[in-house]
Chains A and B, each alone.
Chain A
Amino acid sequence: MIELLLILVPVVIGAAMQFGRDDENEKWSRWTGALVAAVMFFLALASRGTEWSFRWLSRPFTSAFHFGPTAISYWIVLLLAVCTFSAILAVNQPRRRRFIGQLLMLEGTMMGLFLARDLLAFALFWDAMLLPVFFTLLGWGGHSGTAWRYFLYNFAGGLTLLLATAAFGMLYGSTDVIGRTDVHLVGAWVPWIFIGFSFAFLVKTPVWPLHTWMPITYSDTPSPMVAVVSAVQSKAGLYGFIAIAMATMPDYVKTYAPWLIVLGIVSLLYGAFIALTQNDAKRIVAYSSLSHLGLIVVAIASFNPIALQGAVLYIIAHGLFSAAIFLTLGYVESREETRSLVRLGGLGASNPRLAGALCIAALAALGLPGLAGFVGEIVILTGVFQAGLVWPAILALIPIVLASAYMLRLFQGIMNGPEVPDLPVRADLNWIEGLALAPLVIALVVLGVNPHALTTFNPSAYNATTVSQGASK
């Protein structure tokens, strides 16, 4: 039942918040939203090991509303709860109640996605989670074209996912397979099913060359929303690779692994180089995400248990630091009314606390030891080396170096240098804004020092890794 609450409570409250008259002065919506998000966090914490199931279809294949965290998705769900809590506290958009409502609906639908143990429920929430972002882009975004591009790209992915799910169900007779270890699909249809899933996952992650929706979406979406989208929604594809593709179709993941590695490496390099050249602060982080998530794709495709553990670590770490960066950039934007590095500068002198926050987030992103990002990177690289993929591992090192360059450029461009005279000078972070960042920063430090908890899952539960170990000996 906890699962049902995790999904329905945010969705229902979020939907209810869409109705009624706009009132710019209301204070209660933020606290209601934060309270709901906090309760969701503790519910998520308590959801470990629980399951809930309700029969949905019995024909043409069996399917159920089956929800419950797996060993991996448990952490992503917690990440989602934390990020939503922080994002809601950081909201300063107009029509605040509606915005917070959209954030809550996003949380609920993504809870459904990550808790789903059934492919059909997974596909349902895959499409459903697009809607809050789409409506946010319509109501608060910069250009209407962004909303389209986001929606159409991801819906196209959702449709191939749907077709693949239908074919999966017809072939296997059931879609209630996520988190099970005994499902092993073979047959002439399976490569097509795998390609259908992969297309959806690669669009969502995104991976070059399917990424073109992502930079404009990330720069146009208001910061609190994009913090959650980049932290958690972008992990849906990676989670899908681990929990669905690797677990049920390991042979075909292995067949197509070289392609995935190539796409991952290209994304890694391309994202890092483009990030160096951007002047829009949010676009820098968007391209850095492309780069970081490419690393996770390489890790997944390398079929190594250590790399897989690293991938999970980095999924969480990237979520934490990208949410922190986007929220901080939102604070910057609301103070200076621009996010162009050409205009910004010297903000650190008048806003030292803001500078400190961005500093920690950027250091986590560039992989400073002691913070969570470093742990993920080092474990992934170790695993990729161990899998015998020497060149990919070496190539993956280049963007990690570049990450220092673009993150420091971002930080210096905003915080250091002389103060720009024609930009407004506004107050430093207040306590609510600080409170919003606190859970993210604390988690970054805790996981950076003690990442062990995240790696307790059994990698051999995901067939692919055991297949590769068997094959390499």
Chain B
Amino acid sequence: MTINVTNADWNAVAPIIIVAITGLLVLLLDLLSPKNISRYAAILLGAAGMIVAGVVASLAYWSPAYVAFGGAFIQSGFGIVFQLIILIAGIGSLILVRPPVQNERIAGATALMLWGTCGAMLMAGAGNLMVVFLGLELLSLALYCLCGLADRPSSRESALKYLILSSTASGFMLYGMALLFGASGSVAFADLANPALASSALLWVGGGLFLVGIAFKLSLVPFHAWSPDVYEGAPLPVTAFMSVATKAGTLAVFARFMYAALPAGTADRLLLPIWIVAAISMIAGNVGMLAQHDLKRLIAYSGIAQVGYILTALAGGTHLGLRYAIYYLAAYTFMNLGAFAIATTMSGDREEGSHLANYRGYGRRNPVGAALMTFFLLAMAGLPPTAGFLGKILILSSSVGAGYAWLGVVLIIGTAISLYAYAKVVRAMYQRDEHVHAFEGHAPAPLAWASAAICFVVIIVMTFYPYTPSNVLPIVK
């Protein structure tokens, strides 16, 4: 089969190309400038590139879907919305880059983050299994390096751990893809939706292995053990990026697989393990959160549960469910980025903002920062007036409407558990405690403060003006 590549095809991937070229540009500038490129220059250039990419991507939102490169990449409302969320995650975490990422590494870090964003964006628009894998590996390779960026043993451990475990999961996924290829004779998602495949054993085994890979990337229980360790060792901005972009990209792949690429009638049975795993994740993630003393580990466990909430919205495969999943994913993005931004403002050379012990008495030392942190944590717990609250009610309604009320009940139980973990941090910040010797220093971090403020405003606006994108049904051809 020959593929005629036209300008329209290149337009479809233009946002990705813009981001990739920005990464090259940052490296080039670093090479050309007499000293190392300054932190602000690298960050602002990277952010500007991503903003341009976001604008270019959103221009195509209302135009009809376009299948580029012979079905390898699909430009549609679905992919664009996910790409925008990924870009927001990229910008939001890039501007948090501060020490301990030294100046000589800043250009490389920025470029890697940009290319990681490219990988996740590619996953969001992938039309066949090969592109999914390409995007996934691009994202993962960037993350392996980024995790080891800080000059600490824990950071190197994190990188190694992520490399080994993630490769294993990629192996599962690749094997699943091979079997899916064997079943349909094609790598395209479109050819999987063939009703004749509904009884093919290869589809079931391949689909199962593929979903194992997905579950690993989403860090669902029982494939979650890597995420707290990797998150803990990685530098703060990288953790922020990983906690959102990886999940967003993988969720996009999962949603496309689930909504558009399965033969009719197989979804309920093939995906049942995913719903069960999501239910376990909602409980186990929130229970795991209770014992944490480190913000990054807390967010890792919280992420395990939050993905469970998002999958609850998807269960049943309704259009509204997908919209609410995207709404909640966006809310989750801003809550996480906001919390990481505050942690960054507290951090010096050793990432003090990540140790929950340092939040003791924070309410007195910095009332504004503590109030914002409280807001983000309570948003994750789903308390009003936040998008977390509204997102939960939307997810609950969609699960009730789609006949998955049991997942809604599990969500409620998980949320009740999670409150304790989130509120523990809040308590540490506000409780009167005269005998604390917490970390007192604050390096100036105007970008992080700006990011926290923006996240705050966006979450409030999302609560009272809950826009859920309507043009998002995934397509495969």
Contacts and interface: CB of A to CB of B under 8 A. Distances in A.
Nearest to A63: B393
Interface in A135-167: 135, 138-139, 144, 147-148, 151-152, 155-156, 159-160, 162-163, 165-167
Contacts of A135: 430
A138 B385 contact: no
A169 interface: yes
Contacts of B368: 19
Contacts of A125: 384
Interface string B383-396: 11100010011101
B384 A128 contact: yes
Interface stretch (A52-60, A264-272, A408-416): A52-60
Nearest to B468: A59
Given A131-B378, A155-B419, A160-B412, 14 more contacts: A19-B367, A59-B320, A120-B393, A127-B389, A134-B423, A135-B430, A138-B430, A139-B432, A144-B427, A151-B423, A155-B416, A156-B416, A163-B408, A167-B397
B83 interface: no
B371 interface: yes
Contact of A159 (B371, B384, B416): B416
Q: Chain A contact residues (Cβ within 8 angstroms of B): what range?
A: 35 or more
Interface string A212-249: 00000000000000000000000000000000000000
A435 interface: no
Contacts of A395: none
Contacts of B432: 138-139
Contacts, number: 84
B389 A124 contact: yes
Contacts of B400: 166-167, 170
B420 interface: yes
Contacts of B464: 56, 65
A57 B393 CA distance: 11
Interface in A26-59: 56-57, 59
B394 A60 contact: yes
B415 interface: yes
B430 A127 contact: no
Interface string B416-437: 1001100100110011100000
A131 B405 CA distance: 28
A147 B320 contact: no
Contacts of A60: 320, 394, 397-398, 401
A61 B427 contact: no
Interface residues of B, number: 34
Nearest to A153: B416
A18 interface: yes
Interface string B337-367: 0000000000000000000000000000001
A403 interface: no
Contact of A163 (B412, B420, B468): B412
A123 interface: yes
16 contacts: A19-B367, A20-B367, A60-B394, A60-B401, A123-B393, A124-B384, A125-B384, A151-B423, A155-B383, A163-B408, A165-B393, A166-B400, A166-B408, A167-B396, A169-B397, A170-B397
Given A148-B420, A163-B409, A18 B367 contact: yes
A156 B420 CA distance: 11
Interface in B254-288: none
B461 to A, nearest CB: 13
B392 A152 contact: no
Nearest to A147: B427
A123 B385 CA distance: 11
Nearest to A129: B384
B416 A162 contact: no
Given A18-B371, A152-B416, A170-B397, A127 B383 contact: yes
B96 to A, nearest CB: 24
Given A56-B464, A139-B432, A61 B392 contact: no
Nearest to A165: B393
Contacts of B397: 60-61, 166-167, 169-170
Contacts of A159: 412, 415-416
B398 A124 contact: no
A169 B395 CA distance: 12
Contacts of B392: 162
Contacts of A151: 419, 423
Contacts of B320: 59-60
B466 interface: yes
B408 A144 contact: no
B434 to A, nearest CB: 13
Contacts of A138: 426-427, 430-432
Contacts of A148: 420, 423, 427
Q: Which of A18, A57, A162 is most buried by chain B, counting CB atoms within 10 A of its CB? A: A162
B336 to A, nearest CB: 21
B371 A144 contact: no
B383 A131 contact: yes
A413 B383 CA distance: 43
Contact of B430 (A56, A139, A160): A139
B266 to A, nearest CB: 26
